[in-house]
Chains A and B, each alone.
Chain A
Amino acid sequence: MIRSLPKSKTYSIGFKLYIVLYFVFLFAPLFITCVLAFNDSQFPSLPWKGFTVEWFTANQSERVGIFNDQINLDSIWVSAQVAFFVTLFSVVAGTCGAFLFEQEDFRLKQLLYFLMLSPLVIPGVILGISILLFSNTLGTYFEISWNLDVALFRPGFWLVVLGQFSFIATLVTLVVSARLKKFDYTLEEAALNLGANRFGVIWHITLKFLRPAIVGAGAVAFLMSFENFNTTLFLVGYEATLPINLYLQVRDGSTPVINAISFLLIIGTSTAACLHLYFSKKED
């Protein structure tokens, strides 16, 4: 059963085999996606017709590599901008939330805490439609009452940012709170005794202490936003984010360009993941 106990040979071989199969199951789809990005074929399938990097670099009529594919490049740029703003907003709101729930006391704190957790149990699709509805209601109201046409209330860039922010901020709040719990309050008291004011203490001492958690949560927020599909689906306007754009292409038949984008995403995110783990290990 465990390391220290004797076990039969068939049992341990069986167990190992299971684990190997599990890892094959885990990596097979990613591996094959990467391999087929380099196949010299018009379709992302076998047989192998030779190695090529044309699905990255080509610029011919029947074959346009990702580096020359304006629609896909645009959607990557849109996703990056969305992710930047989502990260910025959720780090600010999440850090405020962490201070609020860890250090402040007020009436109805429990209720507000429960509300803060609620995006964890609301399916992303529901968040998407309810924010779409509400912004539409507001938009109609502004138009009827003041004859104002507010672009923010129509599906588009900023609505996507707000939709993703609404649940990613919860994640940031939880990560930063976990770090704030470990904070040694005597440091704050010492600074206060020495004449610092509360904001000075937070700026110079507490935020310095929280920095690794904030950076880590920011990185995860960026990635979650970059890859979000469910909430974005309902809020997106004419500027498609990368997942939406890829979805439309995959649904209507695929070319190895999608493999090339996937390859870049897999390499990018695994590097980011390894760096993230490396730095969070170092902190501990």
Chain B
Amino acid sequence: MKHQKRWALFFFLTPVILWLFLLIVLPHIDLLIMSFRIENDAGEMVWSLSNYAQFFEEPIYWRTFVRTAVYSILVTFLTFVIALPVALYITKVVAPRFQGFLTLLLLLPFWVSELVRVYGWMILLRESGVINHFLIKLGILNRPVEMLYNDATMILGLIYTSMLFMIVPLIAVLESLDNSLIEAAYDLGANMWTILFKIIIPHATPGIVSGSIVVFMLTLGNYLTPNLMGGKNSLWFTEQIYNQFIASFNWNQGSAFGFLLLVLSSIVVWLGLKLTRQTLRTVVK
């Protein structure tokens, strides 16, 4: 019996250890090491901090970094503001028999590849796009306007892409909110805003946090949407990483950038959890 138990542990442990060490731990250690190495004038690899120094010296690098972080926070907040009424409507307002159907409808677009969704926005918004076509037909515009390739449409695209990851936890958490609490507050004379801020949002905090963490992370690490919908001036930090790796072939600089992005995303996730006194384990659920 004891013998068998050991074998079972060994049997389950081996693939998991191989997976986590070969594909997660060692590659990230390698990333860290690479970020501290440079090629000196003699063509040898030596230890150095210059990849990181480069990041702080070149305004384009750290500005892109800060911009990416600020925009990711903005996108997370806007996604929450847009998603909350929808989640409330589905859990508390609509007749229960439509609930399942509406939830299904809500999830459907997100099964489709992100590329297809971004492409859909591109053919809607671009100069020869569908929206311009209708605006000219209706006489609102005289000639087409380029609506793509600026910060606003990029943010729109990012919100659209990450909407699902906010709305699902919100629906889950609001379903557990007892309606009688809202009714009691209403009977005692609370208005809509008081109910929202004193009852609904405090109750929904775990869902808001897990949704926000996922949305922030996905936005920060997004490459496709900023690349296809953003303009020349809306460079995303992942694009800097891509440029270092693929275009300049400077893997050491790229590693430093990658590591900085990883640190930023870890710090924000950690802060989000600390501020609301949750653990990663509860958020995953």
Q: Is the CB of B112 within 8 A of A30?
A: yes
**CA of A30 to CA of B112, assembled, Å:** 9
Given A26-B106, A32-B130, A166-B19, residue A270 in contact with residue B112 (CB < 8 A) = yes
Known: A123-B217, A198-B5, A250-B119. A223 touches B224 (CB 8 A): no
- 0/1 interface trace, chain B 86-125, chain A, CB 8 Å (1 if under): 1001001101000000001111110111111111111110
Q: Are B245 and A129 in contact (CB under 8 A)?
A: yes
- Listed in ascending order, the chain B residues whose CB lies under 8 Å from chain A are 4-5, 7-9, 11-17, 19-20, 23-28, 30-31, 34, 82, 85-86, 89, 92-93, 95, 104-109, 111-124, 128-130, 133-134, 160, 163, 179, 182-183, 186, 192, 195, 213-214, 217-218, 220-224, 227-228, 238, 241-242, 245-246, 251, 254-255, 258, 261-262, 265-266, 269, 280-281, 284
By the criterion CB–CB under 8 Å, are A243 and B182 in contact?
A: no
Whether the Cβ atoms of A133 and B255 lie closer than 8 Å is: yes
Number of interface residues of A (CB under 8 A): 90
**Contact partners of A122 in chain B: CB under 8 A:** 24, 28, 262, 265
- Mask: chain A, 127-169; 1 = CB below 8 Å from B; 0 = not: 1011111101100000000000000000000000011011001
**Complex interface: chain A residues within 8 A of B82 (CB):** 22
| Given A131-B27, A265-B116, residue A233 in contact with residue B108 (CB < 8 A) | no
**Taking each of B124, B221, B280, which has the highest tally of chain A beta carbons within 10 Å of its own beta carbon?**
B221
- Measured CB to CB, the closest approach of chain B to A161, in angstroms, equals 11
B120 touches A32 (CB 8 A): yes
Chain A residue at minimum C-beta to C-beta distance from B244: A129
CB distance from B112 to the nearest CB of A (A): 5
10 other A-B residue contacts (CB within 8 Å) besides A120-B217, A258-B119: A2-B183, A26-B106, A29-B120, A104-B9, A125-B241, A129-B31, A166-B19, A233-B242, A254-B122, A272-B111
A23-B183 contact in complex given A45-B128, A229-B114, A247-B224, C-beta closer than 8 Å:
no
Inside 8 A of A123's CB, which chain B residues have their CB?
A: 217-218, 220-221, 238, 261-262, 265
- Check A3 against B114 for contact (C-beta < 8 Å): no
Give the B-binding residues of A (Cβ under 8 A): 1-5, 15, 18-19, 22-23, 25-30, 32-33, 36, 43-47, 92-93, 96-97, 99-100, 104, 106, 112-127, 129-134, 136-137, 162-163, 165-166, 169, 174, 197-199, 202, 223, 226-227, 229-230, 233-234, 243, 246-247, 250-251, 254, 258-259, 262, 265-266, 269-270, 272-274, 277
Total inter-chain residue pairs, C-beta < 8 Å = 253
For A270, list chain B residues within 8 Å (CB): 108, 111-112
Given A5-B186, A112-B20, A251-B228, A120 and B284 contact (CB-CB distance below 8 Å)? yes
Across the interface, do B258 and A269 meet the contact criterion of CB distance under 8 Å? no
CB of B205, distance to nearest CB on chain A (Å): 19
Q: Give the shortest distance, in Å, between B235 (CB) and chain A (any CB).
A: 14
Nearest CB in chain B: distance from A24 CB, A: 11
Given the interface pairs A100-B13, A117-B284, A166-B23, the reply to whether A29 lies near B124 with Cβ below 8 Å is: yes
Residue in chain B with minimal CB distance to A35: B130
B105 and A23 form a contact (CB under 8 A) = yes
Quick one: closest A residue to B157, CB to CB? Answer: A29
